């Protein structure tokens, strides 16, 4: 049976003694759950007919190491862990297996009689079970040899409260049956950060494929959004600071070598081939890590790639990408030459082909566009009404853009505070303002990824469910 039915082995009635002696300090004793479908339920030391019929000559051989056993343990304030117990090739025995000895005694004696005198299996059958530390036996052969296959243990049914801070030497959890010791450790995996680099390329498939390859590791590439009218691509990556810096450095280097801004024509403003590279903390408390990662990348881009780098967001309060893009690369160089501003890293002159790079740390935002059928002036007027600086929604940046390849116009937005400005409210306002100006809303577009809370809020509003948020979504609750 391969379903999830399980038997709790630790609650068996033991005729002799529980095989837990000399427990380590701070040990927590737990009864493991083993899936029935993965076990061969045989009495200890029995001789299986298959072995007698096919492998009798091998009964005395030195056994191989233990099968790999993988155990997950949930501990309060600690991460789960997995640990393999495979150091010894002998088997410690201290259980009478819930009096199976009496139940199957006749069968075992009958099989034992078929074994030649002096065989190790006969000696094992006659040996008395004592404490685990007192008896060492050769590991019995399984009905099917499955070394190297993972055996799942479902442990525990409740959190283990250690009631004290983790000591320098990690505590242990002892499984009552089978006799395994699982070592605990402090959390090893740090929460990931997000990076959303924007490149000034949205048409050349060879360059886009090269960017995908460069940005595929060691950080994890989650999403790629390409827009030919914007002539821009947006990549979404996650990883720790080190993985993100190495991956992004490779992407910026490739963009420097493969993208030529002198031939670039696109609807979206830009000042570089690798135009903007933000580090984003998924958890608010990780903002300092995002700042450190962004600073490391900025320094290395300036020193190793020879590109001017400008800081923004949490690294340069009051400055956003628009502060540098105003007027394009030529205007930015004029401002540098005039002493109005200077790169934070790298040379004081923009690269002729690749321009500069804007690097920063910021909170998660939603890049969201609404496509209209109408005139460009209508899109620009709607953008002016909904953006924060025009008295619209807080944290909303908006532009009216022409999309000649699609034959449409667009209200392109960055929603920097989706909790203060809900997407469904923004779309409703855009639609009302567009209709008032003779334009028609055809659809909307998400650039990259968005927080689950924003999607849940929009769904709850459209369905008119009071109090609906991400906590009411099944899969998200299971991950919590």
Q: Which two tokens stand for residue 143?
A: 């009905």
Distance of CA 353 to the CA centre of its chain: 36
Catalytic residue among 55, 110, 185, 268: 268
Q: Which residues contact 373 (CB under 8 A, 6 or more apart)?
A: 408, 409, 439, 440, 442
Reply yes or no: is the peptide bond before residue 274 cis, omega within 30 of 0: no
Residues near 31 by beta carbon (within 8 Å), at least 6 away in sequence: 8, 9, 10, 11, 156, 175, 176, 177
Helix (H) or strand (E) holding 53: helix 49-54
The yes-or-no answer on residue 424 being catalytic is no
The whole-angstrom separation of Cα 71 and Cα 172 is 12
Contact 100, 177 (CB under 8 A): no
Give the separation between CA 396 and CA 370, rounded to whole angstroms: 13
Angle between helices 287-304 and 241-258 (to 10 degrees): 40
- Encode 192-214: b = buried (16+ Cβ within 10 Å), e = exposed: bbbbbbbbbbbbeeebbebbeeb
Answer yes or no: are the C-beta atoms of 447 and 431 closer than 8 Å.
no
Dihedral angle computed from the Cα positions of residues 411, 415, 418 and 423, in that order, rounded to the nearest 10 degrees: 10
Residues with a catalytic annotation lie at 268
């Amino acid at each position: 049976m391969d379903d999830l039915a399980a038997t709790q082995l630790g609650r068996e009635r033991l005729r002799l003694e529980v095989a837990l002696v000399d427990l380590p300090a701070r040990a927590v004793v737990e009864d493991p759950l083993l899936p029935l479908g993965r076990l061969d339920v045989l009495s200890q030391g029995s001789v299986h007919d298959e072995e007698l019929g096919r492998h009798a000559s091998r009964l005395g051989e030195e056994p191989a190491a233990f099968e790999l056993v993988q155990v997950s343990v949930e501990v309060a304030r600690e991460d789960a862990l997995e640990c393999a117990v495979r150091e010894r090739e002998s088997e410690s025995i201290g259980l009478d297996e819930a009096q199976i000895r009496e139940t199957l005694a006749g069968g075992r004696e009958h099989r034992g009689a078929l074994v030649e005198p002096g065989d190790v299996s006969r000696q094992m059958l006659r040996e008395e079970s004592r404490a685990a530390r007192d008896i060492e036996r050769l590991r019995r052969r399984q009905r099917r040899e499955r070394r190297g296959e993972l055996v799942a243990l479902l442990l525990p049914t409740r959190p283990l409260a250690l009631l004290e801070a983790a000591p320098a030497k990690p505590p242990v959890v002892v499984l009552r049956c089978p006799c395994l010791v699982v070592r605990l450790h402090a959390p090893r995996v740090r929460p990931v950060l997000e990076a959303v680099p924007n490149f000034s390329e949205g048409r050349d498939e060879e360059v886009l494929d090269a960017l995908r390859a460069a940005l595929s590791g060691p950080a994890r590439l989650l999403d790629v959004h390409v827009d030919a009218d914007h002539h821009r691509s947006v990549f979404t990556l996650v990883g720790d600071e080190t993985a993100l810096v190495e991956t992004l450095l490779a992407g910026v280097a490739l963009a420097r070598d493969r993208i030529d801004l002198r031939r670039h024509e696109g609807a979206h403003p830009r000042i570089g081939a690798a135009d903007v590279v933000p580090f984003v903390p998924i958890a608010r408390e990780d903002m300092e890590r995002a700042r450190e990662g962004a600073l490391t990348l900025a320094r290395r881009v300036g020193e190793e790639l020879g590109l001017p780098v400008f800081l923004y967001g949490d690294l340069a309060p009051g400055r956003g990408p628009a502060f540098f893009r105003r007027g394009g690369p030529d205007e930015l160089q004029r401002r540098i030459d005039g002493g109005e501003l200077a790169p934070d890293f790298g040379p004081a002159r923009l690269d002729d082909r690749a321009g500069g790079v804007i690097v920063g740390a910021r909170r998660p935002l939603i890049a969201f566009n609404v496509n209209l059928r109408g005139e460009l002036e209508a899109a620009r007027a709607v953008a002016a009404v909904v953006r924060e600086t025009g008295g619209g929604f807080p944290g909303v940046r908006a532009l009216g853009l022409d999309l000649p390849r699609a034959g449409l116009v667009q209200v392109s937005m960055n929603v920097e505070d989706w909790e203060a400005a809900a997407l469904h409210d923004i779309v409703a306002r855009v639609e009302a303002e567009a209709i008032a100006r003779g334009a028609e809303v055809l659809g909307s577009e998400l650039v990259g990824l968005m927080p689950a809370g924003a999607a849940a809020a929009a769904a709850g509003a459209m369905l008119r469910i009071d109090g609906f948020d991400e906590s009411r979504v099944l899969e998200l609750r299971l991950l919590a």
